[in-house]
């Protein structure tokens, strides 16, 4: 063959090969933990241009099978399925990020400095929001007051939530915006307004009292709300999340997500729950379960609320709180309301996910499910209890019996462990945050974070699940160490079982032929590092549908599709 002919052939072959090169990728890594029990470990994975996994195996084997494929070698890194947060609030995280970040501030002076910088970006009169302050980090460890903010911000409302979300610090302009007169000696249910000797509120609002100020804030405009969603999703993918179950959104919020999805601006998958027995559920019943063609957004669940939270003693308990006799917490929706909403969901084929913290709240959720599902309990409903935090011994086995998923947040256990036993005592604590007991009983565990109540970072959840310890590894051996999971099980809660909780296990949650190439590249092997190192795993990249949505050291990727 003459030289020219050879060149032409080469060019033609190149033209033929080019689309093939663009189509298929062979990823190779030191190890790929597939979470697929049939093949837990692989060294390489091939996926096509649409992000569909073709095969797993050894690198040589797959490169031989797909000789034209683009090669993506991540060297000594470990690949795991994309992490899914089964219970979180994307908009809430985004709004928190839009406010001033006060985490780690060492004094009120530093807070004022950060607030001034943030205020410079705001319109006159616009609320100045912030979060993350902690008086324990200050030279004087007492609660701050409105007066300290008023000096700098006499007219602009300022509202700053404490690092744990259980207290808020308002200035006088913010308190003036509250319609109800805050003076006097009244207190809201499940909360406390701090007041001076004269009965005048001093700017600190605890737990449910915070709602008085929250509700006084003007609703954010549409652009800000959309920006909050985008910020929340971006933070998620930067931490290795490829999916989030958004635990309660209105129809307006669904529309907002839809617009982002239409524009190809969803970097990860949102599995939304309609908030309460309201407009979004009504829409599901009228129009059917919702799925965006991109595969990045769906809504087919409804979030209901049995009770409140443990920290503020709002969780509904079967007996009195151990540290508050006469108080058994409260129901947020009545048994009747839960029954009506669950029956409606059942009728419409909608999955129910009920917030339940206390043992009474959980029993009510289980009773409601048993009644609503009736003889059809073994069908593929996948109804969930969100949090499932304190369970009466008799109710533990009912999750498996009723095929109810326990949607739990490992970091809640380690955040609450300093005081949880005071609330419920030595007997009831045995059924608290009882991952292992639930798993042993045959229940499925889906893991999440409840961000922004806890950090968006799923590494902290993995660490909590295996250690039951705080960031310093205390208490030694973990709190109620019998409940500890191994790293594989923790990872499974944030992958395959979270996918299952969103009816997604045929597409997501493990890396197997036919599934979506949603994965995370980690510098270390999460199944091989000491527990403490799980908190600092180095997330190198996050891929959704085979494309990077986050790469360490690079600016935010264009979201696709």
Contact 29, 77 (CB under 8 A): yes
For residues 327 and 427, which CB has a smaller minimum distance to a copy of itself in the complex?
Answer: 427
Tokens read off for 221 = 């405009």
Least distance (Å) between residue 378 CB and a copy of itself: 17
Q: Which residue has the tokens 């089964």?
A: 86
440 forms part of the interface with a copy of itself (CB under 8 A)? yes
Tokens read off for 97 = 């990020």
Least distance (Å) between residue 455 CB and a copy of itself: 24
Least distance (Å) between residue 479 CB and a copy of itself: 11
Stretch that binds a copy of itself, among 160-168, 207-215, 304-312, 475-483 (CB under 8 A): 475-483
> For the chain, how far is it from start to end, CA to CA, in angstroms?
45
Contact 51, 464 (CB under 8 A): no
**Which listed residue (188, 220, 425, 475) binds a copy of itself by CB under 8 A?**
475
167-170 vs 158-162, strand pairing mode: antiparallel
**Which listed residue (377, 397, 523, 527) binds a copy of itself by CB under 8 A?**
527
Tokens read off for 488 = 């594989």
76 forms part of the interface with a copy of itself (CB under 8 A)? no
Stretch that binds a copy of itself, among 21-29, 282-290, 358-366, 477-485 (CB under 8 A): 477-485
Contact 24, 46 (CB under 8 A): yes
471 forms part of the interface with a copy of itself (CB under 8 A)? no
405 forms part of the interface with a copy of itself (CB under 8 A)? no
Contact 53, 517 (CB under 8 A): yes
Applying CB under 8 A, the site for a copy of itself has a residue count of 30
Helix, strand, or coil (residue 350): coil
- Give the C-alpha separation, 526 to 533, whole Å: 8
Stretch that binds a copy of itself, among 179-187, 298-306, 522-530, 540-548 (CB under 8 A): 522-530
**Which listed residue (439, 459, 515, 540) binds a copy of itself by CB under 8 A?**
439
Contact 244, 270 (CB under 8 A): yes
| Binding track over 489-508 against a copy of itself, x by CB under 8 A | x-------------------
**Which listed residue (190, 311, 452, 478) binds a copy of itself by CB under 8 A?**
478
**Which listed residue (104, 477, 536, 558) binds a copy of itself by CB under 8 A?**
477
25-33 vs 78-81, strand pairing mode: parallel
398 forms part of the interface with a copy of itself (CB under 8 A)? no
Helices 222-238 and 251-262: crossing angle, nearest 10°? Answer: 70
**Which listed residue (46, 233, 480, 559) binds a copy of itself by CB under 8 A?**
480
Bridge partners (DSSP) of residue 299 are: 272, 290
Bridge partners (DSSP) of residue 521 are: 79, 541
Least distance (Å) between residue 537 CB and a copy of itself: 13
For residues 454 and 497, which CB has a smaller minimum distance to a copy of itself in the complex?
Answer: 497
Contacts of 301 (CB under 8 A, 6+ apart): 245, 271, 272, 273, 274, 350, 351, 352, 353, 384, 502
481 forms part of the interface with a copy of itself (CB under 8 A)? yes
Q: In angstroms, what CA-CA distances link 513 with 55, 58, 438?
A: 5, 14, 30
Helix, strand, or coil (residue 195): strand
DSSP state letters, 80-134 = EEPEEEEEE-HHHHHHHHHSEE-TT--SHHHHHHHHHHHHTTSPTT--EEEEEE-
CA angle 91, 252, 218 (to 5 degrees): 65
Region 528-557 residues binding a copy of itself, contact defined as CB under 8 A: 528-530
50 forms part of the interface with a copy of itself (CB under 8 A)? no
For residues 37 and 334, which CB has a smaller minimum distance to a copy of itself in the complex?
Answer: 37
Cis peptide before 561 (omega within 30 of 0): yes
Region 26-45 residues binding a copy of itself, contact defined as CB under 8 A: 37-40
Stretch that binds a copy of itself, among 110-118, 216-224, 409-417, 480-488 (CB under 8 A): 480-488
Least distance (Å) between residue 476 CB and a copy of itself: 4
For residues 358 and 526, which CB has a smaller minimum distance to a copy of itself in the complex?
Answer: 526
Backbone φ and ψ of 422, nearest 5°: -60, -40
Least distance (Å) between residue 405 CB and a copy of itself: 15
**What would you report as the CA-atom Rg of the chain, rounded to the nearest whole angstrom?**
25
**Which listed residue (221, 476, 514, 554) binds a copy of itself by CB under 8 A?**
476
For residues 134 and 489, which CB has a smaller minimum distance to a copy of itself in the complex?
Answer: 489
The gap from C-alpha 349 to its chain's centroid, in whole angstroms, comes to 24
Stretch that binds a copy of itself, among 474-482, 509-517, 535-543, 549-557 (CB under 8 A): 474-482
DSSP state letters, 260-312 = HHHTT--SSEEEEEEESSSHHHHHHHHH-SEE-TTSSEEEEEEEEE-B--TTT
Note the helical H segments in 383-430.
393-396, 398-401, 410-416, 420-428
For residues 379 and 442, which CB has a smaller minimum distance to a copy of itself in the complex?
Answer: 442
Least distance (Å) between residue 258 CB and a copy of itself: 38
482 forms part of the interface with a copy of itself (CB under 8 A)? yes
| Binding track over 208-247 against a copy of itself, x by CB under 8 A | ----------------------------------------
| Binding track over 410-429 against a copy of itself, x by CB under 8 A | ----------------xx--
The gap from C-alpha 98 to its chain's centroid, in whole angstroms, comes to 18
Least distance (Å) between residue 484 CB and a copy of itself: 4
Judged by the rule CB under 8 A, the positions of this chain that interact with a copy of itself are 37-40, 426-427, 430, 436-437, 439-440, 442, 475-478, 480-482, 484-489, 525, 527-530
């Amino acid at each position: 063959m003459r030289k020219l002919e050879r060149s032409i052939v080469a060019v033609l072959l190149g033209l033929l090969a080019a689309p093939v090169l663009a189509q298929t990728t062979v990823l190779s890594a030191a190890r790929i933990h597939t979470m697929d029990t049939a093949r837990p470990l692989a060294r390489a994975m091939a996926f096509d241009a649409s992000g569909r996994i073709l095969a797993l195996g050894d690198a040589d084997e797959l490169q031989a099978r797909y000789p034209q494929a683009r090669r993506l070698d991540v060297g000594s890194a470990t690949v795991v399925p994309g992490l899914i947060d089964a219970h979180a609030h994307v908009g809430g995280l985004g709004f928190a990020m839009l406010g001033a970040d006060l985490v780690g501030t060492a004094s009120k002076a530093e807070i004022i400095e950060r607030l001034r910088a943030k205020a410079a970006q705001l319109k006159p009169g616009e609320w100045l929001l912030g979060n993350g302050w902690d008086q324990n980090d200050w030279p004087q460890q007492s609660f701050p007051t409105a007066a300290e903010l008023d000096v700098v911000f006499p007219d602009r409302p300022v509202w700053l939530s404490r690092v744990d979300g259980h207290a808020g610090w308002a200035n006088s302009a913010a308190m003036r915006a509250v319609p109800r007169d805050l003076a006097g000696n009244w207190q809201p249910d499940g909360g406390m307004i701090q007041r001076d000797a004269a009965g005048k509120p001093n700017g600190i609002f605890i737990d449910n009292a915070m709602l008085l100020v929250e509700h006084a804030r003007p609703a954010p405009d549409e652009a800000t709300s959309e920006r909050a969603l985008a910020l929340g999703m971006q933070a998620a993918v930067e931490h290795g999340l490829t999916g989030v179950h958004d635990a309660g959104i209105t129809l307006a919020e669904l529309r907002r997500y839809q617009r982002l999805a239409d524009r190809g601006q969803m970097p990860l998958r949102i599995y939304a729950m309609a908030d309460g027995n309201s407009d979004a559920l009504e829409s599901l019943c009228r129009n059917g379960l919702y799925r965006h063609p991109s595969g990045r957004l769906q809504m087919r669940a409804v979030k209901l609320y049995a009770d409140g939270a443990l920290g503020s003693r709002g969780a509904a308990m079967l007996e009195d709180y151990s540290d508050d006799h006469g108080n058994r917490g409260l129901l947020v929706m009545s048994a009747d309301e839960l029954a009506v909403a669950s029956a409606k969901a059942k009728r419409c084929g909608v999955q129910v996910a009920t917030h339940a913290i206390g043992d009474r709240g959980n029993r009510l959720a289980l009773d409601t499910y048993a009644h609503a599902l009736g003889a059809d309990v073994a069908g593929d409903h996948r109804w969930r209890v969100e949090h499932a935090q304190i369970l009466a011994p008799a109710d533990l086995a009912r999750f498996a019996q009723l095929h109810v998923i326990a949607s739990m947040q490992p970091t809640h256990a380690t955040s609450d462990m300093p005081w949880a036993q005071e609330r419920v005592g030595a007997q009831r604590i045995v059924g608290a945050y009882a991952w292992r007991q639930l798993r042993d009983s045959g229940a499925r565990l889906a893991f999440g974070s409840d961000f922004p109540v806890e950090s968006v970072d799923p590494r902290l959840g993995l660490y909590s699940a295996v250690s039951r310890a705080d960031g310093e590894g205390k208490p030694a051996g973990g709190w109620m160490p019998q409940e500890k999971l191994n790293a594989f099980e923790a990872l499974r809660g944030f992958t395959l079982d979270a996918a299952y909780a969103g009816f997604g296990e045929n597409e997501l949650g493990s890396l197997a032929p036919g599934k979506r190439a949603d994965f995370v590249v980690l510098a270390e092997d999460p199944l091989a590092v000491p527990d403490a190192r799980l908190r600092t795993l180095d997330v190198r990249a996050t891929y959704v549908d085979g494309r990077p949505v986050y790469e360490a050291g690079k600016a935010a990727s264009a979201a696709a599709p």
